[in-house]
Amino acid sequence: MRLVLLGPPGAGKGTQAERLVAHYNIVPLSTGDLLRVAVAAGSPLGLKVKDIMARGELVPDDLVVALIAERIDAPEAKNGFILDGFPRTVKQAEALDRLLSERGLKLDAVVELKVDENILVDRIEKRIKDTKAKGHTVRADDDPAVLKQRIAHYRKQTAPLSDYYRRKGSLWPWMACRASTRSRRTSNGRSPSAFRWEVDGWRAVS
């Protein structure tokens, strides 16, 4: 099972990824984790990443794709993987397509978590209130203004991926449905090789 999770910050991608990883026994591929592991390992690729991050620059797409390629090729990924945080742009999605194609692989599904943006902001505000009430320190990223900026960035940079994967319906049948692991079939009776799900980010994928 090879999956991509899409959704705005705070939509619950991490929660759903944990459940899917456990259910399908697949490898979680978070780009942030991959970068940290590569740097810690001190591999040639990790050293390149470390220097770039030390300069405060964004890690180029080709290096991120190379990191993903390493994990996909690892024995523990034989059952598949779930990508969270990549691709973030259409350009990255195209790079991912090429990477998989070179290995004779393709995605089984792209899952988009749909959550009302106002609810995301309300949840942050509630979490801040609860944290302060308990006398704890509020996390730096628990800031409604910061979340709104991240959502705006997602809407501009990453949201177009929804249309990108929808357009691939000319090659991969697309259908919007509730979260489900049941087999789906197209109008011609064939099982789709991949499709795009729209699910409620507040519910577990079962």
**Exposed/middle/buried for 53, CB within 10 Å: 0-12, 13-18, 19+?**
middle
Residue 139 catalytic?
Answer: yes
**88 catalytically annotated:** yes
Candidate list 36, 48, 88, 166, residue with the active-site label: 88
Q: Is 98 a catalytic residue?
A: no
Q: Which of 13, 71, 168, 196 is catalytic?
A: 13
Annotated catalytic residue: which of 114, 127, 148, 166? 127
Annotated active-site residue 13? The verdict is: yes
Residue 190: active-site member: no
Query: Which residue of the set 48, 50, 150, 166 is catalytic?
Result: 150
Catalytic residue among 19, 103, 126, 139: 139
* Residues taking part in catalysis: 13, 88, 127, 139, 150
